[in-house]
Amino acid sequence: MLPPEAVTHAALTDPANYYEPTVTVELLDASPDRPFIKIARLETLGNERVLSEVFLIEDMRITARLLGANAIIVPHGRSRQYSPDGIHWIIEGDAIRYQ
């Protein structure tokens, strides 16, 4: 039996920009009231053994931290995708940096 696994992919808004990794990344379910810029679109995929959306979010948070994000905006809910090698859980979100 395979253990739960997740991987996060990032599409940078502007690959020419580099930000130092951050210490913490807030989890938001909607855009904040304060000014921000979107630095990346994130997609986290988990295998069929992933039983919790939190497992996927925490993997996404690690990637966002390494990209220099202050927060991730992740609407509630995950989707299921079927493929020849099994079921994959997917969540999508945005990595943002406060201005």
What's the pLDDT tens digit per position in 17-48? 999 999 999 999 999 999 999 999 999 999 88
Give the CA radius of gyration of the chain: 14
Residue 68's region, left for phi above 0, alpha for psi from -120 to 50, else beta, is left
Number of domains in the chain: 1
> Domain holding 10: CATH number?
3.30.110.70
Tell me whether residue 18 is in a domain.
yes
Tell me whether residue 85 is in a domain.
yes
Distance CA 80, CA 33 (A): 31
* pTM exceeds 0.95: no
Distance CA 42, CA 86 (A): 22
What's the pLDDT at 2? 78
Nearest to 22 by CA among 40, 5, 44: 40
Quote the domain boundaries for residue 88.
6-98
Tell me whether residue 1 is in a domain.
no
Tell me whether residue 52 is in a domain.
yes
Residue by residue, DSSP assigns 74-89 as --S--EEEEETTEEEE
